[in-house]
Structure formats: C-alpha cells, structure tokens
C-alpha cells in the first residue's frame, strides 16, 4: 500500500472526506454569521446557542409530538428563526445607532441566558436523537466506510451554501441586500423597507444555525453546551475567510474542515489549535482575511 508520511493513502482519503463533512458544519454556521454580519454589522454571539436550540427543537418535536426528522428540518429553522426575529425587533434594533460592539455584548448575554435555561431544564449529559431509518447503514467506498447520513450532510450543506450564495450575489433581492449594506439610507429612499429586510436577514441567519443544529442532532449528542465551544472555532473561520464575505465563509468553512481533519491524523494534539494558528498567520499577512475587503 502506498503511504504518505507513514499514513496509507487510502486511509488519507477517508480522513479527507471526514474533514469535508466537519467543514460542512463550519460552512453552514459561518455562512449564517457572515450574512448577519454583512448586513447588520453584528457579530452574533448567540449563534452557537441558536444552533443548539435547533437541535433541541428537533428533539422536542420527536419526543412530544412524534414529528420526525424531515419535518424538523423545516419546522426547527422556522421556529428558531422566528425567535431570532423577535430578538432583533425587541433588542438588536435599538442598538444600530451605537457602537457595533454593543451588539456583540448583547448577543453574548443572550447566549448565556439561553444556555443557562436549557441546562437547568435538561441537565448536561445530553439527550439521544436516533438516526432516521432512511439513513441506517453505510456506503462501502473502497477506501472507507461512509455512513449514509454523513454523505447526506455534505450534499445538503453544499446545496444550502451555494443556494444562499446565489440568492445574495445573483438575484435582485440579493442586490438590494448588498446595496443596503453599502448605504441603507439610499436604498430606503428607493422605497425598499430596509428595517424589515434587516429583520428577515437576521431571522434567516438564525434559521441557518438552527438548520445546522437539526443536521447535527443525529450524529452529535444533543446537549445545552453543544454550540458553546463550536462557536469560537466558527468565529475563527469567519475571521480567516474575511468577515461578511459569503463565498469566503463557505470556502474557508470546508477548507478548514479538511485541514483540521488532516491534523487529526498527523498530529492530533494540535487539532483544536490549528485553526487559531492559521488565523494568526492569515492575519499577519492579510488583516482583512482571505476574502475580505479592507474596511
């Protein structure tokens, strides 16, 4: 068997694929952050908590209403997105005139509240969410054993990410959005309801986080802390990609997933620091991130 640095090539392919799957989650989460940041100029610290709420929402639906995975994929993002809309209308909207850092602080506080409440009611060891029947089993690729659900994760997140990119960069609605980022007053003057657009954008970004949460529920343990640690890594992904850059967040998300996957093979001890190290290097060379415009 051929080997690269002492690791069989076939095993390496497997690890690359796994990295790509993890990257799919980074991409979906950082995409939501990028969309929100692009228009609202707010770093949404609540993103991790909203991802967790998505997973919990799927669990509630199954446990109490007998509603399965497929409906949860639709209902959870809508429900959590609606909560996001309420948060934006009642709280975030009051902060737009102030320094953007206040938005960061507010969402940080909200994240603490949500996580605290969920831990109080559901403990911390987590709740089981069984894999939907359709995905039982796995594909036997010659170099690895790929669970069907993981293949699904990759496919769906690619569709979601590219779809979002298309809407924002290539449609009329998207052009309004981008225009509002540049000059809200002017877009408003053209008769477009900018505050409503901002509200819906926030709702959409949050819904994306919840969607990722539902996707995660069958493979990761559903617990109140699940988003807390992930979100800081995703922040780093966003910083590397260039804040507010849609395509940047998608590419960096997948790319860093792969790099992290490789680190897990060659030097696992560094697998949770590697992203931050890359971030430091990128910032030294290009402070606005790989795909970011200098602000």
Q: How far apart are CA 268 and CA 223, in angstroms?
A: 25
Q: Which of 166-174, 189-197, 198-206, 261-269 is the region at the interface with another protein (rule: CB under 8 A)?
A: 261-269
Binding mask 177-216 for another protein (x = CB under 8 A): ----------------------------------------
Q: Which residues pair with 127 in a beta bridge?
A: 222
Site for another protein in 36-55 (CB under 8 A): 41, 43
- In sequence order, which residues have a C-beta less than 8 Å from that of residue 87 and are 6 or more positions away? 46, 110, 202
CB of 150 to another protein, least distance (A): 8
User: Is 116 among the residues that bind another protein (CB under 8 A)?
Assistant: yes
Residues 219-248 that bind another protein (CB under 8 A): 219-221, 223, 225-226, 229-230, 232, 235-236, 238-239, 243
Query: At how many degrees (to 10) do helices 172-182 and 148-170 cross?
Result: 70
For the bound state, the minimum distance from the C-beta of residue 207 to another protein, rounded and expressed in Å, comes to 21
Q: How far apart are CA 218 and CA 192, in angstroms?
A: 41
Closest distance of CB 90 from another protein, Å: 9
Considering the complex, what minimum distance in angstroms separates the CB of residue 288 from another protein? Answer: 8
| Total number of residues that touch another protein (CB under 8 A) | 76
| 110: contact with another protein by CB under 8 A | yes
**Which of the residues 148 through 177 are near another protein (CB under 8 A)?**
149-150
- To the nearest 10 degrees (0 to 180), the angle between helices 47-65 and 226-241 is 140
Residues 262-281 touching another protein, rule: CB under 8 A, are: 264-265, 268-269, 271-273, 276-277, 279-280
Please say which residue, 22 or 249, places its beta carbon nearer to another protein: 22
Please tell me whether residue 86 binds another protein under the rule CB under 8 A.
no
| In contact, 290 and 252? CB cutoff 8 Å | yes
* 208: phi then psi, degrees, rounded to nearest 5: -65, -40
Residue (119 or 175) nearer to another protein, CB: 119
Least distance CB 44 / another protein (angstroms):
11
Q: Which of 126, 132, 174, 195 contacts another protein by CB under 8 A?
A: 126
Closest CB 170 distance from another protein, rounded Å: 28
Here the tokens at position 185 are 């007053």
Distance CA 291, CA 285 (A): 13
CA–CA dist 97, 95 (Å, integer): 6
With contacts defined by CB under 8 A, name the span among 74-82, 178-186, 195-203, 218-226 that binds another protein: 218-226
């Amino acid at each position: 068997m051929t080997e690269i640095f002492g690791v069989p090539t076939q095993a390496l392919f497997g690890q690359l694929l796994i990295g790509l799957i993890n990257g799919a989650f980074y991409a979906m989460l950082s995409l939501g952050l990028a969309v929100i940041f692009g228009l609202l100029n707010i770093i949404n610290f609540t993103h991790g908590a909203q991802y967790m709420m998505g997973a919990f929402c799927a669990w509630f639906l199954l446990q109490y209403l007998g509603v399965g995975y497929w409906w949860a994929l639709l209902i959870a993002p809508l429900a959590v997105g609606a909560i996001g809309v309420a948060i934006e209308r009642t709280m975030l909207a009051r902060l737009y005139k102030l320094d953007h850092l206040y938005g960061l602080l507010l969402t940080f506080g909200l994240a603490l509240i949500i996580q605290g409440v969920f831990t109080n009611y559901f403990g911390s060891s987590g709740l089981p969410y069984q894999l939907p029947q359709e995905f039982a089993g796995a594909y036997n690729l010659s170099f690895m054993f790929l669970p069907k659900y993981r293949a699904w994760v990759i496919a769906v997140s690619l569709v979601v990410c590219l779809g979002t990119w298309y809407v924002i960069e290539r449609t009329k609605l998207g052009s309004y959005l981008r225009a509002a980022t540049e000059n809200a007053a002017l877009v408003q003057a053209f008769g477009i309801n900018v505050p409503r657009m901002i509200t819906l954008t926030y709702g959409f970004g949050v819904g994306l986080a919840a969607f990722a949460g539902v996707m995660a529920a069958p493979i990761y343990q559903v617990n109140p802390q699940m988003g807390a640690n992930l979100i800081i890594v995703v922040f780093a992904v966003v910083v590397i990609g260039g804040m507010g850059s849609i395509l940047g967040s998608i590419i960096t998300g997948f790319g860093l997933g792969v790099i992290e996957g490789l680190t897990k093979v060659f030097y696992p001890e560094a697998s949770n620091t590697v992203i931050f190290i890359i971030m430091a290097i990128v910032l030294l060379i290009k402070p606005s991130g790989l795909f970011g415009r200098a602000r």
